[in-house]
A = this chain, B = another copy of it.
C-alpha cells in the first residue's frame, strides 16, 4: 500500500472494485451460457475450449503451467487435455526443459477448430463493441489483469 500522505488505502476505490466483482459474476455466467449455446457446433466442452484457446495464443505449454495460468487445478486441466487429445485436437511433444512433463501443442485440426470458434466469437464481440472506446477497453483490461494478479495468492493444488 503506497500512501504518501497517511490517508487510508483508497477506501472508495474499494467500493468501486466491489462493483467490478459484482459485474464479473453475472458476466461470466451469461458469457458461459452463450458459449455453451453454440458449443454443440464443434462439440467442445467449455473446459476443452479454454485449454485450446490458451494453447492458441500462448503456444505450447505443459499441463501444470496451464493450470496455474487459468486458476484451474492441475488434474482438471489434465482431463481436458486428455479429452482434447482423444479427439485429435492436441498432441504432446517432448519437453526439452522437463523430461517428465511433455509440452502440449495444438494439432492442425485443433488449430482449425479453435480458430473457427474464435472467429465466431469475434464476430459477436464486434457487435458488442457499441460506443466503447479503445481507451476504455484498455483500462478495463488493465484493471482486470491487476485484480487477477492480486488474487494470485490463492493457490490451487
A residues whose Cβ falls under 8 Å from a Cβ of B: 1-2, 8-31, 33-34, 37, 50, 53, 69-72, 118, 121-123, 125-132, 134-148, 150-152, 154, 156
Q: Could you say which residues of chain B place their CB within 8 Å of the CB of A21? A: 31, 121, 125
Check B148–A17 contact: CB distance below 8 A: no
Q: A9-B127, A13-B126, A121-B18 are in contact. Are A29 and B150 (CB under 8 A)?
A: no
- The one of B29, B53, B125, B156 in contact with A17, judged by C-beta atoms closer than 8 angstroms, is B125
Q: Could you say which residues of chain B place their CB within 8 Å of the CB of A118? A: 18
Q: Could you say which residues of chain B place their CB within 8 Å of the CB of A151? A: 27, 30-31, 34, 128
A27–B37 alpha-carbon span in the complex (Å): 22
Check B26–A138 contact: CB distance below 8 A: no
Check B139–A135 contact: CB distance below 8 A: yes
Check B134–A8 contact: CB distance below 8 A: no
A91–B21 alpha-carbon span in the complex (Å): 26
Q: Could you say which residues of chain B place their CB within 8 Å of the CB of A71? A: 26, 29-30, 33
10 nearest CB pairs, A to B: A139-B139, A140-B143, A23-B144, A28-B28, A30-B151, A14-B126, A140-B140, A14-B125, A136-B139, A17-B125
